[in-house]
Amino acid sequence: MTTMTASTTTPSRSNAHASLTSRAMHVFLFELKSQLRPFLIGTVTLLAVAVLLLAGAYPIYRDSKSSVEQVIDGFPPQFAALFGVNDDVFSFGGFYRFSSLYLMLTMAIMACAWGLAVFGREKRAKATDFLFVMPMPRGAIYAAKLAAGLTMVVVASLAFLAAVALTYTRFRDDSTATSIALPRLILAASSLLGVGVLFLAFGALTAVLLRRIRSVSGIATAFGVFGFMLVSLPEMTGEDKYRIISPFTWFNVSEALDHGRYEAGYLALAAVVAVACLAAGAVAYVRGEVRAE
């Protein structure tokens, strides 16, 4: 009799687990399908910015070196330091260093928007109560949504790395004095993955905490531009301590290009902040009250 109970209990638990996995997968695929258009638009925009800068602007800079040098000499030192405009801009690696801030800005806005859209969908549609009566735990819903967001960030980052690599093979430097090895360039370009995950976490936490989300693009743009502006603090003041509040500088492209590595302390800081935001979002999502709309 005991044997019969055990044998019937085990299949029921297995079926329940399989059912939960199936529902979580359904939420994951639903979010990917719902975000397909914004994802494609964002990814194409990121690739277009990369191609315009690295395949469009870089050859012009390189072929007009003397004229550009005259312009650079007229820049105030603080302005040149902020935007990475210096003699190194005439090499492919140096121009990527100059372009990286704008590429990070694009990725930050995209990833934050995805986080806001995925985790704020039900609030914007005023259907939060329907979501939480689904036959699956809130934690599983949150995990499935997070998996969808991370998938978009990873796929967009891989597409970007492929575009950078292809552009490098076409426009790389012939001079051994200024050339940059492809592995270091790919490592530097991988900074966009870190920025994407970090700002996805910002967007997810914001979506969970806000009662209403009126404009995904407006909030995401504000996050991205604020991150862009914070870069000016360490660059303009020359004080490295301000990097601790400047997320873009946590992924030091210059360190990757020059030394083939990132700074472990700042990578750890980025990881802690991202995990903390996602964990806080999970707690708020699971324990949050469902407001009647």
Q: What percent of the chain has pLDDT over 70?
A: 78
- Is 150 within 8 Å of 200 (Cβ atoms)? yes
The token pair at 194 is: 């870190």
| 196 burial type by CB count under 10 A (0-12 exposed, 13-18 middle, 19+ buried) | buried
Q: What pLDDT was estimated at residue 3?
A: 45
- Is 83 within 8 Å of 229 (Cβ atoms)? no
Instruction: Give the separation between CA 227 and CA 219, rounded to whole angstroms.
Output: 12
Helices marked H in the chain: 2-34, 36-51, 58-63, 65-73, 77-83, 92-124, 128-131, 138-171, 182-189, 191-209, 216-230, 232-237, 253-259, 264-287
Cβ-Cβ contacts under 8 Å for 201 (sequence gap 6 or more) = 115, 273, 274, 275, 277, 278, 281
Predicted confidence (pLDDT) at residue 234 exceeds the cutoff of 90: no
Identify the CA nearest to 107 among candidates 166, 187, 191: 191
Helix (H, G, I), strand (E, B) or coil at 266: helix
Q: What pLDDT was estimated at residue 187?
A: 95
Residue-wise pLDDT for 1-55, tens only, equals: 444 444 444 556 666 666 777 778 888 999 999 999 999 999 999 999 999 999 9
* Orientation angle between helical segments 264-287 and 191-209, nearest 10 degrees: 30
Instruction: Give the separation between CA 7 and CA 225, rounded to whole angstroms.
Output: 59
Q: Which of 55-69, 104-118, 141-155, 266-280 has the lowest mean pLDDT?
A: 55-69
Task: Indicate the length of the chain as a whole number.
Answer: 293
Q: What pLDDT was estimated at residue 176?
A: 46
- The chain-wide mean pLDDT, for the chain, equals 83
Reported pTM: 0.86
- Is 10 within 8 Å of 127 (Cβ atoms)? no
